Amino acid sequence: MNFWTTHRDTILVEPIPTAPYFKSVYDFAKAWLQGQETFSIATSGSTGAPKEILLNRNQMTASARLTGQVLDLPKGTRALVCLNVNYIAGIMMLVRGLELGWQLTIVGPGSNPLLELPNETTFDFVALVPMQLSAILQEEGTRGRVGDFGKILLGGAPLSTVLLQEINALKIPVYQSYGMTETVSHVALRRLNGDAPQADYQVLPGIEFGIDPRDCLYLRGAVTNNELVQTNDLVELTSPNSFYWLGRADSVINSGGVKISLDKIDQVVGEVLQELNLVTEYFCWYEPDEKLGQKLVLFVACDHSILNIKNLLEKIAERVRRYETPKAVYFARSFLRTPTAKIDKMATAHYFFDAPHD
């Protein structure tokens, strides 16, 4: 089967799925409904080596109830589960459904989940990664069905300038989440469209937060088992209940003694590519250099023949300081990804530098 629609009241009396992915959903649901107290969850590996984290039932229940409360998702909510259920975002979609009494439609993880579903299928809530929403909007057969999602929660990766513009045109509410495995999915949200889109993340009720001496965010609450979780995310506190995300402290390179924020340059590159009418993926990284130590470079997922490098770099240079312009642009057919569909920047760069290429 391509999809499976189920509910907490019926899942354990239905025939057990034979497809491995749906069987893993069933196994988790059975463990949850039978009261298992702890769960070992793998991190995605997007900001470091993948590792296993032990979460307890109370943390996961607290997170699920917060989501239901803040996004107004009551019993009976029809939810699409299309994120990998081996990782926290997908797992928590299952927990929300099982705890709050939602109708769950599960599809295997893929770039465009709507391709697996009948045209008449509608939902009240769906969680996606940006790549999935982009794929849905780019596919002629699914673009018009986004309005059937009810509410969209986006997480897992930064949003491109082009995708943000497309989101702004949508009539249904779209939220971007901030969170990680250690915080049991999201602990802050920002509305991306509507009458008052938000630049700042609004922290969910009951979550304590602040910054360390590096200006990196820390968090504590029932979802962290009341233990402090220290992040490497540079933020600016904008109110007692909100913060503005500046980038990752570990996404800073030292080029000739000058610190450069890769996240900052990524934003500029996105604006320039939009101005050039080029819709594609990209990211800034570094290349070892004898003189500079780390040389700022740009990876773009397109054929080199459709992009004028000189023009691109000139437009970037107009928006940044002199040393923040990439020293080289590299082209790739596609980027390597983590199991949760995020671009694996380090692996992509290493593969590119180590493998023969044009």
Domain carrying residue 261: 256-354
The pLDDT assigned to 211 comes to 97
291 within 8 A of 261, measured Cβ to Cβ: no
| In contact, 309 and 328? CB cutoff 8 Å | no
Same domain for 160 and 24? yes
My answer on whether 122 and 36 are in the same domain is yes
Given this model, what pLDDT does residue 305 score? 87
SS3 355: coil
pLDDT score for 106: 97
Q: Is 313 exposed, middle or buried (0-12, 13-18, 19+ CB in 10 A)?
A: middle
Give per-residue pLDDT as tens, 13-56.
999 999 999 999 999 999 999 999 999 998 865 555 678 999 99
pLDDT for 157: 80
Who's near 228: CB < 8 A, 6+ residues apart? 218, 219, 220
Q: Whole-model pTM above 0.75?
A: yes
User: Are residues 154 and 263 located together in one domain of the fold?
Assistant: no
Last residue of a domain, one of 175, 200, 225: 200
Residue 192 in contact with residue 153, Cβ under 8 Å?
Answer: no
Backbone phi and psi for residue 166, each to the nearest 5 degrees, phi listed first: -65, -40
Number of domains in the chain: 2
- DSSP labels, 113-151: GGGGS-TT---SEEEE-HHHHHHHHHSHHHHTTGGGGSS
Tell me whether residue 106 is in a domain. Answer: yes
The residues, ordered by sequence, that sit 6+ positions from 322 with a Cβ below 8 Å of its Cβ are none
CA 57 to chain centroid: 23
Give per-residue pLDDT as tens, 253-262. 999 999 899 9
Domain boundary among 153, 185, 200: 200
Whole-number pLDDT of residue 356 = 55
**53 and 155 co-located in one domain:** yes
Collapsed DSSP state (helix, strand, coil) of residue 235: strand
pLDDT under 50 in the chain at which residues? 358
Task: Determine, yes or no, domain membership for 48.
Answer: yes
pLDDT of res. 304? 85
pLDDT for 42 equals: 86
Contact between 87 and 95 (Cβ < 8 Å): no
